[in-house]
Amino acid sequence: MAGVRPFATLRYEKRGAVAVVALDRPEVLNAYNVAMRDDLHAALGAADEDPEVRALVLCGRGPAFSTGGDVREFGTAPSPFVARAVRWRRDVWGRLLELRAATIAAVHGYAVGGGMEMALLCDLCVAADDARFALPETGLGMIPGVGGTQTLPRKAGPARALDLVLTGRWLDARAALAAGLVQRVVARARLEAAALTLARRLVRLDPAEVQALRRAVRGAHDLSLEAGIALERRLALALQRRP
């Protein structure tokens, strides 16, 4: 595609005002390594710098969304902790969280560890009926490293988040929907179409309004009710005052 270089570990394409980023290491269930870190950082940057992009769909090719960190890299570093630190050196997740465009995770198969956390960083998540979620890091002597301890309680509540983080237990798609991690569950064959339909609905909205709404809703977790209402009022007035 013109203006965006090809990537070794993912595919990037535009469908009108929607950017689609597909993780593309299906032979290892889209495990996340240093090369994917660099590619994803660049692809998200390309989407953010493109004024035409108003929504982004993050998905995975092959049988899974992502199984998190590539354990094969653990053997090339002094410890799993060092291996993970190398993979996370660039702030890919901050870039994903702060994109101008609304973000949708389209999840199928396994979304494990960092894979689950990638989905949690997106604004919305559409899951296929074969999706399975888990955060197994505790069993490896680590804590989630892609913001899961922060995004999970914001979506599922502290008690459920502690249960999932401490036990590492699995959730199927319907359980994830009930827990608030997923907003829609569809048949596997309909996942791509459902995610794109939702994205195209979002791109019809005023981008400034979308950004203001995302900021207001996210602020609800960090502000007092009084401060949150004041933020909502400021954002609404700013939209009204635009030329």
98 carries an active-site annotation = no
- Annotated catalytic residue within 73, 137, 192, 232: 137
137 carries an active-site annotation = yes
- Annotated catalytic residue within 117, 192, 209, 232: 117
Q: What is the dihedral of CA 27, 32, 33, 36, to 10 degrees?
A: 90
Catalytic positions: 117, 137
